[in-house]
Amino acid sequence: MKSSPKTNRSLSGLLCVAFGHDYIVTRKVTNHINEYKCSHCGREVAENDTGHLEVLTQNLKHTHSILATFFQKKNQKISTTLLRTRDVA
């Protein structure tokens, strides 16, 4: 008798209920904001502005995508500026 994916999910969910989630970082949005996913049940969460974990919604994913793009451009601009100041000095 083969177990269905739903059965495996619910058993994994029971592990999380009994022992807690085992979150791994799936995406580093900025230096201070990360997205996490439970390796057992697949629950996705992210840090909010106070550092607590909250459920990762589509709206929050979209916001993080925009924030990550802005953060990458900012860091790229800073790196370019630092390289220019080294060349001048």
Total domains in the chain come to 1
Would you state the structure tokens that stand for residue 4, as one six-digit string?
């269905």
Residue recorded with tokens 């995508």: 65
Per-residue pLDDT of the chain (89 residues; tens, 9 = 90+): 454 445 555 677 788 888 899 999 999 999 889 999 999 899 999 998 888 999 999 999 999 999 999 999 998 887 777 667 766 55
Please give the residue range of the domain that contains residue 58.
5-88
Q: What is the pTM of this model?
A: 0.71
pLDDT for 62: 96
Helix (H) or strand (E) holding 17: helix 5-19
Residue recorded with tokens 């607590």: 52
- What sign does the dihedral 13-29-51-57 (CA atoms) show? negative
- The DSSP string of 53-76 is EEE--HHHHHHHHHHHHHHHHHHH
